[in-house]
Amino acid sequence: MSGYKDKTRVRSCGILIKNECILLAQLLSPISNELIWTPPGGGVKFGETLEEALKREFLEETGLTISVNKLVHINEIIQDRFHAIEFFFLVNYESGNLKLGSDLEHNENDQILKALSFKSKEDIAGSNVQPEYLKKEFWTA
């Protein structure tokens, strides 16, 4: 996971809503080394748009094809040797069956993705969810 250190990482993430629940991925955080829940998404490659990166990452991690709606939140993380700027978009389901995929930046023995689940506002309140925006502000915006 040291590939994330000492550089600014741009991430594109998607918020998919179904029956008033948000699709979240459980992963081992490269920053805290703790399990967290966060919307699917990942790093933007050079020359790739935020929308292209989000569609690619969502498919890799969830097996779902999505369309991208509006930008709803920007989150910046600066902690120790990590610096990330994350863009969160509302997305629409287009096709596919939900299944835990993989993070292609990691080999199969070093996967950080652990689970996928639709979580309600109540589920999120007591969970280790990142960014914190998803616990309150998202529901009132």
Residue 28 is predicted with a pLDDT of: 85
State yes or no: pLDDT of 2 exceeds 80: no
Six token digits for residue 116: 């996928």
Q: What is the CATH number of the domain that holds 102?
A: 3.90.79.10
Read off the pLDDT of residues 45-84 as tens digits, 9 standing for 90 and up: 999 999 999 999 999 999 999 999 999 999 999 988 889 9
Number of structural domains in the chain: 1
Contacts of 7 (CB under 8 A, 6+ apart): 83
For 20, left (φ over 0), alpha (ψ -120 to 50), or beta? left
Q: Do 97 and 65 meet the contact criterion of CB atoms below 8 Å apart? A: no
pLDDT value, residue 1: 42
Residue numbers of the domain that contains 118: 2-140
